[in-house]
């Protein structure tokens, strides 16, 4: 990751980022809004969030969605919509495969198999930020990330976050 992008991410987060690998997605304003991180931090501790949403405007808009009860509705649908549950399982499988590949590329041990991927996958819906970050980074991979993205306003429309 180039130093300009790393500086933007630090400003977005309000702290130095950890385990950065690359920009996984750019906001329409041009800034990074999702970064890919290493599965383990430099000290070896697990960091299961491979795709990390960094844009504070996007994070705020997603927080509003979370507060609306959308996650409870999504969670309930997992029990009644088998095709959706299968797509969410596929999203989990995709995430774990990509996380394992990143670990291999970094020369790290992969995270334990029994560790959830992110955002509650594959059985729960607990963090729309993580699910949206996955969908932005890998379009078409995450059905709930896509639904949340479709429900969001254009967070970038009044200019860059930093």
Interval 100-136: pLDDT, tens: 999 999 999 999 877 778 999 999 999 999 999 999 9
Instruction: Indicate if the pLDDT at residue 79 is higher than 80.
Output: yes
pLDDT band at 150 (very low <50, low <70, confident <90, very high): very high
Sequence ranges of the domains in the chain:
3-151
CA distance 21 to 57: 22
User: Which pLDDT belongs to residue 71?
Assistant: 96
Tokens describing residue 149? 């993205």
Segment holding 130, helix H or strand E? helix 128-137
- pTM of model > 0.75: yes
Report the interhelical angle of 70-80 vs 56-67 (nearest 10°).
70
User: Which pLDDT belongs to residue 115?
Assistant: 79
CB-CB contact of 55 with 31 (8 Å): yes
């Amino acid at each position: 990751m180039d130093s300009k992008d790393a500086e933007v991410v630090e400003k977005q987060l309000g702290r130095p980022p950890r385990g950065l690998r690359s920009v996984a997605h750019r906001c329409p304003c041009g800034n990074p809004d999702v970064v890919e991180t290493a599965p383990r931090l430099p000290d070896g501790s697990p960091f299961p969030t491979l795709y990390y949403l960094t844009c504070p405007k996007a994070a705020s808009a997603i927080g509003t969605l979370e507060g609306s009860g959308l996650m409870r509705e999504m969670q309930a649908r997992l029990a009644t919509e088998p095709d959706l549950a299968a797509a969410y399982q596929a999203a989990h499988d995709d995430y774990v495969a990509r996380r394992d590949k990143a670990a291999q590329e970094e020369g790290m041990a992969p995270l334990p198999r029994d560790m959830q991927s992110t955002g509650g996958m594959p059985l729960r819906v607990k963090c729309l930020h993580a699910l949206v970050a996955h969908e932005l980074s890998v379009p078409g991979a995450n059905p709930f990330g896509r639904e949340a993205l479709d429900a969001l306003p254009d967070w970038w429309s009044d200019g860059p976050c930093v």
